[in-house]
Structure 1
Amino acid sequence: MPAPVTTTVLVVTWRGIGHLGECLDALAAQDRPHRILVIDNASDDGTADLLAAHPSAPEVLRLPRNTGYAGGIAAGLSAVDTPLVAWLNDDAVPRPDWLGLLEDALLAERGLAAVGCRLERADGTAQSVGVRLTADGHGADRTGGWPAFGFCGGAVLLRTAALRAAGGVPAEFFCYYEDTDTAWRLRLAGWRIGVLEQAVVRHRHGASTRPGSVAFHRWNERNRLLMLLRCAPARTALAQLARFAALTAVLPLRRGRPAAANFRLRLRCRVLAEVLGRLPATLSARRAIGARAALDRGEVLRAWAGR
């Protein structure tokens, strides 16, 4: 009799023909049975043919448009019927014991809602071993030291019921910060989050989104502010929004400003417009998060900020 399947692995892809096959090969080699659901964000590069031909025979949810990583995970979550759900980037290659180690760790402690892992670059150096909370309340990759506040969404295992009860995944983020936002909400609900460094994934960071690009900085800056407005203490969120707006206002007067895309006036104005345009929905989400919370926002920030 086959072992029961405890985990659905959600793999979000968009034009992933150059790397998705290696990800699926690694999932097929896992030492723990699981369900694979690939969310295809309307790829037009032959990804559909790759999925149809792959020996692992993954289930596929093909979306009519590109909804990003956050949108793909949100869409896939609605089809999950297992007690655990994994998020996995299509450019991530987990070791064969990855899923088994995460399942054992998560199921061993009832208070854990999620367990992250170690994401490595091709040379074996750490890209992320969880996420730390900065002094102003947003997330940054952690490579050691203080216990992690949250997880890197590129490879993580969560309790399905806890994730749904905390509000699921913010599909409107498209990509970036959906993981730290989720960690904030789980922490506010009273759950704990762990990271198991023995569970290792090799990751080609940014295979689809090109870190450093204009789009990358737009999503990153916008979602950082939206996450704070949704999850952080009001004083922290408003201070960061005001700081972003003030810096944007004085940029034309500054000489020798950095060349990075997130210091371009047009991009920053677009970020502010998108944040303000989404403010009613964001404040509605904030109220819902507060209604579900078991802990005070300030209590969570004081416990984790700057660690």
Structure 2
Amino acid sequence: MPATAAVVPNRNGASWLPGLLASVAAQTTPFAEVIVVDDASDDESLAWLAAHASHVRVVALPAQRRFAAAVNAGLAVVSPAVDAVALLNTDVELDPGWHAAMRAALDADPARGAVAGKLVTLADPGVVDDAGDILRRDGVCEQRGRGHRDDGRFDTPGPVFGPCAAAALYRRSALDAAGGLDERYGAYLEDVDLALRLGLAGWTGWYEPGAVARHAGGGSQAWLGAPVGALIARNTLVLVARFFPWRWAVPVLYRQCSWLVAAARRGPRPLAAHLRGVAAGLAAAPAAWRERRGLRARAVADVASVVADRPWRGPAAGGHPRGAA
């Protein structure tokens, strides 16, 4: 029988774990196993798990390794019988039918390597948080629907670049072949890198709106160690250096310039954080660049077929409505 493991990376998520694990236990289709990987938390996470979640397998890392490494530590101990893995952030609560709908979507096509559900905000479930990710050729990963009212526009299932790893389902064989998450990202864009590698390997992504999860969006803050803007600036440059062809240099440069101007307008501190991120990205880019030949040699699909030719400027490029998180 098909079996799914739920892997939950945790760093100081004691306040989130009760809601998440209660929603996991309430699934109409149970998970075969639930694994919480604690990334050297210094809150009450481990004590709470010991007292209230004896059914959960806990992997306690002795030193902090950050989000991507915590996920990989969980993947390493998933039982051999498991053929699909759900990645769940601590700040997520699943509707009871989430696993059943996600699993049905994955099983419907053996070419599907990952499934995205509909993420709505925990504070207001009438607002979309993410309806599947879309990677543009300027290096931006667009969270489709973010900040928009859940008014039916995002109720149609269909192909999507990849899922947000806050609540995503992956085929085990696809994850194993990809080697899990790239730990150099730490946090932010590690799921985008994975989706891109899966696409290059010939796997497809799918969006299933019937699988709804509520996302608070603050549970990953304990992993950051730097402003979000700095991490996104750094990791975008790593992603671009690793995968993007030279012919996409114009949209990438356009986006980098627009981000620089936007950071400057926000003030000296956001500008300094952004510049630190850019400097870190430029320092990491040469190593990422050297991996391109090997990645291309293993790919069965061209990057242009995985990263669709979408507008990268103007209203048609997407973006979040004013005031959205």
Provide TM-score, normalisation by structure 2: 0.82
Instruction: For 1:185 and 1:214, locate their aligned partners in 2 and report how far apart those are by CA, in whole Å.
Output: 26
Aligned residue identity for 2:96: P
Aligned ranges 1:1-307 → 2 under 5 Å? 4=1, 6-34=3-31, 35-55=33-53, 57-80=55-78, 81=80, 82-121=82-121, 122-124=123-125, 125-143=127-145, 147-209=159-221, 215-236=227-248, 240=252, 244=256, 257-259=264-266, 263-265=270-272, 267-303=273-309
Q: Give the partner amino acid of 2:75.
A: L
CA deviation profile, 1:20-54 (whole Å, cap 9, x unmatched): 11111111111223211101010111100111122
Alpha-carbon separation, structure 2, partners of 1:53 and 1:137: 44
Secondary structure class of the residue paired with 1:257: helix
Q: Are the equivalent residues in 2 in contact too, given 1:217–1:261 (CA < 8 A)? A: no
In the TM superposition, residue 284 of structure 1 has moved relative to its aligned partner by 3.8
Q: Would you say the 8 A contact 2:119–2:212 is kept in 1?
A: yes
Judging changes above 3 Å, is the alpha-carbon distance between structure 1 residues 261 and 189 closer, same or farther for their aligned structure 2 residues?
farther
Deviation at 1:136, TM superposition (A): 1.3
**What CA RMSD, in Å, does the superposition of the two structures yield over aligned residues?**
2.9
Q: Are the equivalent residues in 2 in contact too, given 1:212–1:260 (CA < 8 A)?
A: no
Amino acid at match of 2:294: A
Instruction: Note the C-alpha offset of 1:283.
Output: 2.4
1: distance between equivalents of 2:185 and 2:89?
A: 16
SS in 2 for 1:271: helix
Kindly state the Cα deviation for residue 236 of structure 1 after the two structures are TM-superposed.
2.6
The Cα of 1:279 is off from its aligned counterpart by 3.0
Percentage identity across paired residues of the two chains: 33
Per the TM alignment, residue 56 of structure 1 is displaced from its structure 2 partner at its CA by: 5.4
Deviates more, 1:275-284 or 1:192-201: 275-284
Structure-1 separation of matches of 2:140 and 2:285: 18
Can you list the C-alpha shifts for 1:246-284, whole angstroms capped at 9, x where unaligned? Answer: 986xx7xx9x9321688413x233223322332343124
Q: For 1:218-270, what per-residue CA distance to the aligned partner results, in whole angstroms no more than 9, with x for missing partners?
A: 2111111211222222343686369648986xx7xx9x9321688413x2332
Contact 2:138 2:253 in 1 (8 A): no
DSSP-derived class of the 1:162 partner: helix
Native 8 Å contact 1:8 1:86 kept in 2:
yes
After alignment, is 13-22 or 237-246 more displaced?
Answer: 237-246
Question: Would the alpha carbon gap of residues 105 and 86 (structure 1) be closer, same or farther in structure 2, given more than 3 Å must change?
Answer: same
CA separation in 1, counterparts of 2:250 and 2:61?
Answer: 35
CA contact (8 A) 2:92 2:167 kept: yes
> After TM superposition, what 4+ stretches of structure 1 lie above 6 angstroms from structure 2?
210-213
Contact 2:119 2:130 (C-alpha < 8 Å) held by counterparts: yes
Q: Aligned equivalents of 1:42 and 1:274: distance in 2? A: 25
Unaligned regions of 5+ residues in structure 2, if any?
Answer: 146-152, 318-325
Is contact 1:167–1:289 with CA below 8 Å preserved after alignment?
A: no
Give the Cα–Cα distance (whole angstroms) in 1 for the partners of residues 267 and 55 of structure 2.
42
Q: Is the 8 A contact 2:230 2:278 kept in 1?
A: no
> What are structure 1's unaligned runs of at least 5 residues?
none
1:261 and 1:213 map into 2 onto residues whose CA distance is 19
